[in-house]
Amino acid sequence: MTSDAQPHAADLLGHSSTTLRRVSVALGERSYEVLIGEDLMKQHQLWAPLIQGRQVALVTNETIAKLYAASVREALEPFAANFIQIELPDGEAYKDWQHLQLIFDALLSHRFDRRSVLVAFGGGVVGDMTGFAAACYQRGVDFIQIPTTLLAQVDSSVGGKTGINHPAGKNMIGAFHQPKLVLADARWLHSLPERELSAGLAEVIKHGAIADRDYLEEVLANMPALLKAEPAALIAAVARSCEIKAAVVGEDEREDDRRAVLNFGHTFGHAIEAGLGYGVLLHGEAVGTGMVMASELSQRLGLLAPSDRERLLAAIKAARLPMQAPAWSTAEYVKWMSVDKKARAGRPRFVLLKGLGQAFMREVDEAIVDQSIKACLEQPARN
Ligand code: NAD
Ligand code: GLY
pLDDT tens for residues 161-218?
999 998 877 888 999 999 999 999 999 999 999 999 999 999 999 999 999 999 999 9
Question: What span, in angstroms and rounded, lies between the C-alpha atoms of 220 and 205?
Answer: 9
Active-site residue flag, 341: no
> Catalytic site residue 310?
no
**Has 8 been annotated as catalytic?**
no
Residues across the chain? 383
Instruction: Flag whether pLDDT at 9 surpasses 70.
Output: no
Say whether 259 is catalytic.
yes
Q: Identify whether the C-beta of residue 126 lies closer than 8 Å to the C-beta of residue 59.
A: yes
Q: Are 125 and 152 in contact (CB under 8 A)?
A: no
Ligand 1, pocket-test mutation among 66, 146, 149, most atoms within 8 A of CB: 149
β-partners of residue 362 are: 350
Q: Give the distance from CA 362 to its chain's centroid.
A: 24
202 Cα to the center of ligand 2, angstroms: 13
Q: What pTM was computed for the model? A: 0.93
> What letter does residue 344 receive in the DSSP assignment?
B
Exactly one of 77, 253, 255, 296 is catalytic; which is it?
255
Known catalytic membership, residue 161: yes
Query: What integer pLDDT is reported at residue 70 of this predicted model?
Result: 96
Residue type, 348: P
User: Does the active-site annotation cover 273?
Assistant: no
* 3-state DSSP percent of the chain in helix, strand and coil, to 5: 55, 15, 30
Is residue 44 annotated as part of the catalytic site, yes or no? no
pLDDT, residue 346, reads: 73
Q: Does residue 329 register a pLDDT over 70?
A: yes
Angle at 173 between CA 171 and CA 177, to 5 degrees: 90
Ligand 2, CB within 6 Å, residue ranges: 155, 159, 161, 259, 262-263
Distance from residue 236's CA to the centre of ligand 1 (Å): 20
Rounded mean pLDDT of the chain?
A: 93
Q: What is the mean pLDDT of residues 364-368?
A: 94
Mean pLDDT of 313-336: 96
**54, 73, 161, 320: which is the annotated catalytic residue?**
161
Q: Is 29 in a helix, a strand, or coil?
A: helix
323 CA to middle of ligand 2, Å? 22
Nearest ligand 1 atom, CA 199: 25
The residue nearest atom 22 of ligand 1, judged by CA position, is: 192
- In testing the pocket of ligand 2, which one of 156, 157, 178 has its CB within 8 Å of the most ligand atoms? 156
Residue 2 has pLDDT above 60, yes or no: no
Residue 300 to residue 359: CA distance in whole angstroms = 15
Among protein residues, the one whose CA lies closest to atom 3 of ligand 2: 262
pLDDT mean over 247-268: 96
Cα–Cα distance for residue pair 288/268, rounded to 1 Å: 10
Q: Among residues of the chain, what percentage have pLDDT more than 90?
A: 86
Alpha-carbon distance of 246 to 126, in angstroms, equals 21
Which residue in the list 207, 266, 320, 342 is annotated as catalytic?
266
**CB-CB contact of 252 with 258 (8 Å):** yes
Angle, helices 306-318 vs 283-300, to 10°: value is: 170
pLDDT(344) > 90: no
The Cα-based distances of 237 to 47, 50, 165, 266 in angstroms read: 22, 26, 29, 20
pLDDT score for 278: 79
13-17, 271-275, 368-372: segment of lowest average pLDDT: 13-17
Atom of ligand 2 nearest to the CA of 203: 1
What is the rounded CA–CA span in Å between residue 41 and residue 184?
10
